[in-house]
Amino acid sequence: MSSQTRAVESWTLQPLTDFVRESSVRLVLVLTPAGQVLAQSGFARAVDVMSAAALAAAIVATTGELARQLTQPPFAALSHQGPKHGFFLATFMTDRGTLAVLAVYDLDVSSLGLVQLFYEQLAAELKAASPKGAVQKQVLAADFERELTDSLNTLFGR
């Protein structure tokens, strides 16, 4: 298990560790569409997790709204490729509610095809491992900051 992979909710750890090993991605976040982080890999600083989670949540919300305006179901995945790095963002349903995975990869080491391939496996494993019958808690603005701080403390061992 990579020492760089940490989870707030332990059931996410093994699937995420496998995903990182197999797809050779550089950074990964597993989060809720509200921006609550469940697990991360590759991030060295809490502030980077915070900004990546906020941006990913914003993209999920934006594309979700675009899909709604087009009377389409939410987009399954979004990929963006630059000259050296690519990122992949996708959402899927689990018993824990909708989850999003943000993966950043180096084009020299991995590829969109590999990331997509192993993402499908990750999503299936997270669906299978997610706590059954979990009540989906509504995210309240008043609790968000405290929950975020708790998550970051767990992820960075503070």
**Min separation Cβ 112 and other proteins, Å:** 4
Residue 1 is a binding residue for other proteins (CB under 8 A): no
Please name the residue that has the structure tokens 């697990």. 39
- Rounded Cα gap, residues 101 and 118, in angstroms: 12
Q: 60 burial class (0-12, 13-18, 19+ CB within 10 angstroms)?
A: buried
- Rounded Cα gap, residues 5 and 45, in angstroms: 13
Taking contact as CB under 8 A, which single stretch among the options 33-41, 114-122, 125-133, 137-145 is the one that binds other proteins? Answer: 114-122
| The total number of residues written for the chain in this structure | 158
Taking contact as CB under 8 A, which single stretch among the options 2-10, 60-68, 106-114, 144-152 is the one that binds other proteins? Answer: 106-114
Work out which of 44, 66, 107, 134 binds other proteins, going by CB under 8 A.
107
Judged by the rule CB under 8 A, the positions of this chain that interact with other proteins are: 81, 86, 107-108, 110-114, 116-117
